[in-house]
Amino acid sequence: MKQRSFIFRFPMVFASLAFGVLFYAPQVLAYDALIVGNSYMFANGNKTASVAEYCLEENTTPWVEAAIATIAKGGWTFKKHAADATKSGQQLGSWLSEGADKSVDAVFLQEQSQTPGFACVNDTLYVQSLEGAEVLNQLIEEKGASTWFIMTWGRRNGDSMNSFLYPDFVEMQACIELGYNTYRSELSTQERPVYVVPAGLAWKWIYEDHLSKGEDPLDATSLFHRLYTGDGSHPSNQGSVLNGLVLYASMTGRSPLDGDMAFNGVNETDLALMRTAAHDVVFGTNFANVPSVSGDVVPYPWVIPWSQNDLNFDGYAVMLGDSMSIPTYLVTSPVEFVGDVWVGMMEEPPRDGRLIIKAGGQLNVNSIQVGGSYSSVFMDGGDLFVSNIQGSFQQAGGHWSSEKAIMLSGDWVMGPDAQLSVLTAPPEVGNSLMKVGGKATVSGTINFPSSAQDYIAMEAGEISMQGELIDEDGENLIWELMTDNTGGQQLVVKASVIEEEADAVTEPEEEEDVTEAEDSSDDSQGPVDVSEEEGGEGEDSEESSDDLDSEQKIDSESEDGLQTDIDGEDEVSGAEPDTGSEGDTAKEDDSSERMEPSETTISERESEAESLDDGESLGDANDSVESGEPVVLEIGGRSGDGCRSSGSHFGVLGVLAFLLLMFRRESRQWAPKRERWGTRTSEPK
């Protein structure tokens, strides 16, 4: 029996595989571009085009196939290329002439190196160049492609043929910039802008970088010098690589700093500097609109002003992203509420996007989900209302507000002009108002609520705090950084100083109540308040106030050494200014705790009175007060609860009389106790 083939034995398996390939395989995205120029573009084996093509395929997705063709002839101008493009039998005509069957998505035009700068003097050659550019732009528009101009660079030492206009690189570069910006201004419309690839600005960036480091750009070892070949005009291998990096960034909105890159003949140091230059000249303008005769236009096709009609799919979710370019959505005016905004998405193929909130913009959403490999959210002005950002957030400026606790899963970089307001109550113990999954770098102003208790304001993997914390009234908050048990950091807002002062003020009121109770207890025992009879209340109150102040200062100190100064709050403790008295007043000993008068204490004082005839003074038995000084009688609780004589002889005599009476009443018990306690053993029995 003949063996059946494997395919026929398992038909359902192969049917399923075929179905998956047909319906689930990612769609291949083709991108076809054409560069039209001269020897500046075909130098080094069309290196400018090949570098851009390489970056497109390696740093976007595996499903993007890019093809960049080059049509370049030495010394050709826009005028010559325009004549060639209208003829179907010519090379350029096969792309742009009527009926040409080649598809193209974008065409990049590069003019002869000296001609664009003639715009500085409105020379006839520049006028003819502009006319040629108009013809080419019209043909490109009819093909449904976008029009770009590749800005070239000034010659290393200027142009000796036109030294009056181009004496050096700087002057020549300035005129070339004017010429290319004029192409864009004259040919752009609101419906169809044209764009400029700022390659020449990257060369200028390298030149100025040398100057900023104190280096000579014209030195033979400098990178700027090595961007040129020996003629000081055409690009070297390094120069063509730099042009390709700028072309790639301009086409896609993708940063040349992202991804791994390596090119033959370019060392790592040079390449790192060139990648930075290419990034800065494309992204350093903050995507501001550029002028044209028909009004301001966007600088690149991937810069898209937010349009509610275009983006709000169902009132709930918005998707911002693309597979080849990184669309950059600008919020420059108030936008109605949308539920969730997806900036890029990890799918097949992955999508990347960029969201920017600028001055005048206002965005209110439930959440922002940042997906893709190179997606980002940036804010340099306006207002953002959101509590959940899944990804990283760079806030150079503007005001971010939330009525809930904030969740941010990535890094947060906050510039000095930025502000955050968390409009909610302090969290419960163990929770925080803001969680940052990565590093939080704070240089701006954060508004957190004040609280009578310490609370965790922010948790992050790492916190760099150089900004300012204020409460809802604009008062500065006290904070400290702490390390949690996972190795992360916490920003802890300390209890409000105002609340501490309020607590300290209430403490003396409790002390007054105790004093009043003790005074009442003392009165019930019958002793006479001598100082009140003599009008000496002020001195006694002042001493009590001193003790309370000491206790208040101790109680008002926080764990980190902060303390509330409440000196002089006499109305709290009832103290009055000390107006003085006859003679000096002796302070009581505050170091020992005062006890209720006991039998032992009374007996000892009676004993002291008994021994007066032997030359001992009564003052030795009462806190070592020397003879001739006012004597203090302490009855009841703590120091200061009793009364003090104002210095009259009546007070001294009263004390002596009281002690003598007690001595007579207990004379029968005195000797036995003295023997039993072992006191004054030298005294005869």
Q: Is 122 part of a structural domain of the chain?
A: yes
Nearest-angstrom CA–CA distance, 303 and 287: 7
Nearest-angstrom CA–CA distance, 385 and 400: 6
At 58, give phi and psi (nearest 5°).
-90, -25
Q: Find out whether 250 and 300 touch, Cβ atoms under 8 Å.
A: yes
Q: Is 19 part of a structural domain of the chain?
A: no
Q: What is the pLDDT of residue 90?
A: 87
Q: Give the per-residue SS3 of 169-193.
A: HHHHHHHHHHHHHHHHHHHCCCCCC
Helix (DSSP H) and strand (DSSP E) numbers for the chain: 19, 24
Tens digit of pLDDT for each residue in 433-443?
Answer: 999 999 999 99
Q: Is 219 part of a structural domain of the chain?
A: yes
Considering the chain, what percentage of its residues have pLDDT values greater than 70? 66
State which H helix or E strand residue 149 sits in. Answer: strand 146-150
252 and 331 both lie in a single domain? no
- List the one residue out of 439, 446, 443, 639 whose CA is nearest residue 551: 639
- Determine the 3-state secondary structure of 666 from DSSP: coil
Tens digit of pLDDT for each residue in 277-328?
Answer: 999 999 988 788 899 999 999 999 999 888 755 554 454 567 777 767 888 9
Lowest mean pLDDT among 53-57, 212-216, 238-242, 647-651: 647-651
Q: What is the pLDDT of residue 202?
A: 98
Nearest-angstrom CA–CA distance, 272 and 488: 32
What tokens appear for 287 in the block?
Answer: 């995507």
Tell me whether the omega of the peptide bond preceding residue 349 falls within 30 degrees of 0, making it cis: yes
The most confident of 304-318, 441-455, 603-617, by mean pLDDT: 441-455
At 160, give phi and psi (nearest 5°).
-65, -25
- Residue 497's pLDDT band, with cuts at 50, 70 and 90, is low
Q: Is the pLDDT of residue 121 over 80?
A: yes
309 and 343 both lie in a single domain? yes
Q: Is 12 part of a structural domain of the chain?
A: no
Residue 666, class by beta-carbon neighbours within 10 Å (0-12 exposed, 13-18 middle, 19+ buried)?
Answer: middle
363 and 489 both lie in a single domain? yes
Q: What is the pLDDT of residue 241?
A: 98
106 and 87 both lie in a single domain? yes
251 and 213 both lie in a single domain? yes
Q: Is the pLDDT of residue 259 over 90?
A: no
Q: Find out whether 194 and 145 touch, Cβ atoms under 8 Å.
A: no
Q: What is the pLDDT of residue 423?
A: 92
622 and 663 both lie in a single domain? yes
604 versus 194: the higher-pLDDT residue is 194
Q: Is 579 part of a structural domain of the chain?
A: yes
Q: Is the pLDDT of residue 633 over 50?
A: no
CA atoms within 13 A on the CB side of 49: 27
Helix 39-59 and helix 237-252: axis angle, to 10°? 50
Q: Find out whether 396 and 380 touch, Cβ atoms under 8 Å.
A: yes
Q: Is 554 part of a structural domain of the chain?
A: yes
Q: Give bridge partners of residue 195 from the DSSP assignment.
A: 148
Q: What is the pLDDT of residue 310?
A: 56
- Determine the 3-state secondary structure of 262 from DSSP: coil
Q: What is the pLDDT of residue 682?
A: 38
Rounded to 5 degrees, what angle do the CA atoms 271, 107, 197 make? Answer: 40
For 679, residues 6+ apart whose C-beta sits below 8 A from its C-beta are: 607
Strands 432-442, 406-408: pairing is parallel
- Determine the 3-state secondary structure of 370 from DSSP: strand
Tens digit of pLDDT for each residue in 373-432?
Answer: 888 999 999 999 999 999 999 999 999 999 999 999 999 999 999 999 999 999 998 899
Q: What is the pLDDT of residue 228?
A: 98
Query: Given 283, 316, 331, which residue is the final one in a domain?
Result: 283
DSSP 468-530: EEE-TTSPBPPEEEEE-TTS-EEEEEPPPHHHHHHHHHHHHHHHHHHHHHHHHHHHHH----H
Nearest-angstrom CA–CA distance, 321 and 355: 10
270 and 317 both lie in a single domain? no
Q: What is the mean pLDDT of the chain?
A: 77
Count of domains observed in the chain: 3
- List the one residue out of 58, 81, 62, 71 whose CA is nearest residue 102: 71
438 and 507 both lie in a single domain? no
Residue 57, class by beta-carbon neighbours within 10 Å (0-12 exposed, 13-18 middle, 19+ buried)?
Answer: middle
Query: Given 464, 495, 526, which residue is the final one in a domain?
Result: 495
Q: Tokens 């806190």 sit at which residue?
A: 623
Tens digit of pLDDT for each residue in 350-369?
Answer: 788 899 999 999 999 999 99
Tens digit of pLDDT for each residue in 89-98?
Answer: 889 998 998 8
411 and 530 both lie in a single domain? no
Tens digit of pLDDT for each residue in 540-587?
Answer: 444 444 444 444 443 444 444 333 333 333 333 333 434 444 444 433
Q: What is the pLDDT of residue 317?
A: 64
Q: Is 338 part of a structural domain of the chain?
A: yes
Nearest-angstrom CA–CA distance, 370 and 367: 10
Alpha helices, DSSP H, located in 526-647: 530-533, 537-555, 570-573, 599-610
Q: pTM for the full model?
A: 0.68
Nearest-angstrom CA–CA distance, 248 and 145: 17
Q: What is the pLDDT of residue 653?
A: 58
- List the one residue out of 680, 558, 544 whose CA is nearest residue 607: 680
Query: Given 446, 464, 495, which residue is the final one in a domain?
Result: 495
- Which whole number is the average pLDDT over 123-144? 97
Q: Find out whether 390 and 370 touch, Cβ atoms under 8 Å.
A: yes
Quick one: how far is CA 251 from the chain centroid? 31
- Which whole number is the average pLDDT over 594-598? 38
483 and 509 both lie in a single domain? no
Tell me the C-alpha to C-alpha distance, in Å, between residue 272 and each of 44, 94, 212, 223, 261: 21, 39, 17, 12, 10
Give me the amino acid identity at 454: D
Rounded to 5 degrees, what angle do the CA atoms 392, 455, 451 make? Answer: 115
Q: What is the pLDDT of residue 311?
A: 56
Helix 199-212 and helix 268-283: axis angle, to 10°? 120
Tens digit of pLDDT for each residue in 502-530?
Answer: 444 444 444 444 444 444 444 434 333 43
Tell me the C-alpha to C-alpha distance, in Å, between residue 37 and each of 103, 156, 175, 246, 278: 19, 20, 19, 16, 21
Q: Tokens 């900004």 sit at which residue?
A: 467
Its domain, for residue 333, covers 303-495
Residue 535, class by beta-carbon neighbours within 10 Å (0-12 exposed, 13-18 middle, 19+ buried)?
Answer: exposed
Q: What is the pLDDT of residue 551?
A: 41
Alpha helices, DSSP H, located in 556-648: 570-573, 599-610
Q: What is the pLDDT of residue 596?
A: 39
Q: What is the pLDDT of residue 430?
A: 86
For 164, residues 6+ apart whose C-beta sits below 8 A from its C-beta are: none
Give me the amino acid identity at 284: G
CATH number, domain at 51? 3.40.50.1110
Q: What is the pLDDT of residue 40?
A: 98
The edge-to-edge listing of strands for the beta sheet with 195-197 is 64-72, 29-37, 106-109, 146-150, 195-197
76 and 35 both lie in a single domain? yes
Q: Is 637 part of a structural domain of the chain?
A: yes
- Residue 461's pLDDT band, with cuts at 50, 70 and 90, is very high
Question: How does DSSP classify residue 232?
Answer: S
- List the one residue out of 680, 678, 516, 526 whose CA is nearest residue 597: 526
Q: What is the pLDDT of residue 335?
A: 85
Residue 653, class by beta-carbon neighbours within 10 Å (0-12 exposed, 13-18 middle, 19+ buried)?
Answer: exposed
- Residue 606's pLDDT band, with cuts at 50, 70 and 90, is very low
Residue 89, class by beta-carbon neighbours within 10 Å (0-12 exposed, 13-18 middle, 19+ buried)?
Answer: exposed
Q: What is the pLDDT of residue 655?
A: 55
State which H helix or E strand residue 146 sits in. Answer: strand 146-150
Q: Is the pLDDT of residue 5 over 90?
A: no
50 and 75 both lie in a single domain? yes
- Residue 120's pLDDT band, with cuts at 50, 70 and 90, is very high
Lowest mean pLDDT among 154-158, 341-345, 437-441, 610-614: 610-614
Q: Find out whether 235 and 274 touch, Cβ atoms under 8 Å.
A: no
